[in-house]
Amino acid sequence: MNIESLQKFLLEKNVPKFRLKQIEEAVFRTGKEHFQEIKELPADLRLFLKNEFDSVYSFLVEKVLESENGSAAKALLKLKDGLLIETVLISPKSEIWTACISVQVGCPLKCDFCATGKMGLTRNLTTEEIADQVLFWKNYCWKNRLGKGLTNVVVMGMGEPFLNYENLKKALEIMTNNELFGLGSRRISISTAGIPEGMKKLAENFPQINLALSLHFADQEKREKYMPIAKKYDLKSLILGLKYYLKKANRKVFLEYLLLDGINDKKEDLEKLVEFVKSFSANHLLTVNLIGYHQHQLSPFKSVSKQRIKKVKAFLEKQGVAVTIRKSLGEDIEGACGQLAGSGKTNFNY
């Protein structure tokens, strides 16, 4: 919901200021999705709002697909200019419901292993389009009585967060505003493919928000081959950006490591990963997050076995590196890590 546009509209119509508070209360506290549902407002004002804004969202919800085990859902959203994006809801454990939101239509980074990267970039999402994804999943949890409602937000959907930082920054301010979403900063995580300046800005503006670095390769040559962004921001610049973040925020950082069979899972690859972690004096704040590869239609890569992931974990732990294994959710609806493509053509066939 574009609060600034709404506020301007109400002022132009000489509507009393308290009506905005009533609308915010109805939308963010009681889950109203259409202005016609807000009975506290006069009928003529409800009609004006309906004609001006239609619904509280900046998009139409085209389809929602749920995983068989009920632990994930994926929504296809149609923006006002007709473009499509995808956003995901996952439940990694009981009573925890996390919205995985997008920041761009497509992505310019062209990582070889990511379906979104194959799309290229169409445009950045607006502040409203980013925040409204959270509002949608908040209401979805409310309507479907999922646990205690939406508990967490991860900016790990379509796009690179730090290439749309100003709009994301405003959206984060809305999410953490106690009069609106009221999400605690520590319940929000941002994943970057490696934009050092973005890490620094996050540490300065939101030191309590969690950071995850999509590392995937601790070898510069391989990182350049599979993640073209590494040609602009090499491992040395990543280390400098991450050191700044760790010093400023003093927060734990996840180093995401997508295991690709025969590409970055060999002993020499893992030894370089250990070396990367140990290059930080504050390496106690770093945790490697091992991720199984999720196949998508454009994928030339193969995933490693679960047994292999466990062996990698054991090797890293033996070297004194903190490790977790990410639980895979939403793969059956192509809503897992690296699978979002915003097509709606094959992903949503029932």
The domain ranges of the chain are 1-56, 57-189+334-350, 193-326
**pLDDT at residue 69 in the model:** 86
CB 92 within 8 A of CB 187: no
Tell me the per-residue pLDDT of 113-150, one tens digit each, with 9 for 90 and over: 988 888 899 999 999 999 999 999 999 999 999 988 99
Q: CATH fold of 1-56, please? A: DNA polymerase; domain 1 (1.10.150)
**pLDDT at residue 345 in the model:** 45
Alpha-carbon distance of 249 to 210, in angstroms, equals: 9
Whether 86 sits among the annotated catalytic residues: the reply is yes
pLDDT at 335 over 50: no
3-state helix, strand, coil in the chain (%, to 5): 40, 20, 40
pLDDT level of residue 296 (50, 70, 90 thresholds): low
Tell me the per-residue pLDDT of 231-283, one tens digit each, with 9 for 90 and over: 999 999 999 999 999 999 999 999 999 999 999 999 999 999 999 999 999 99
Tell me the per-residue pLDDT of 179-206, one tens digit each, with 9 for 90 and over: 999 999 999 999 999 999 999 999 999 9
- Looking at per-residue pLDDT, the higher value among 328 and 84 belongs to 84
For CA atoms 28, 90, 217, 288, the dihedral sign is: positive
Tell me the per-residue pLDDT of 45-88, one tens digit each, with 9 for 90 and over: 999 999 988 889 999 999 999 988 888 999 999 999 999 999 99
Cα–Cα distance list, 98 to 71, 91, 208, 219, 341 (Å): 10, 6, 18, 32, 20
pLDDT at 344 over 50: no
Q: Which CATH class is domain 57-189+334-350?
A: alpha beta
**pLDDT at residue 253 in the model:** 98
Alpha-carbon distance of 220 to 275, in angstroms, equals: 13
57-189+334-350 against 193-326: fold identical: yes
Alpha-carbon distance of 211 to 255, in angstroms, equals: 9
**pLDDT at residue 349 in the model:** 29
Q: Which of 107, 111, 114, 337 is flagged as catalytic?
A: 337
CATH architecture of 193-326: Alpha-Beta Barrel (3.20)
pLDDT level of residue 294 (50, 70, 90 thresholds): confident
Q: Which of 86, 160, 256, 334 is flagged as catalytic?
A: 86
pLDDT level of residue 297 (50, 70, 90 thresholds): low
Alpha-carbon distance of 96 to 197, in angstroms, equals: 31
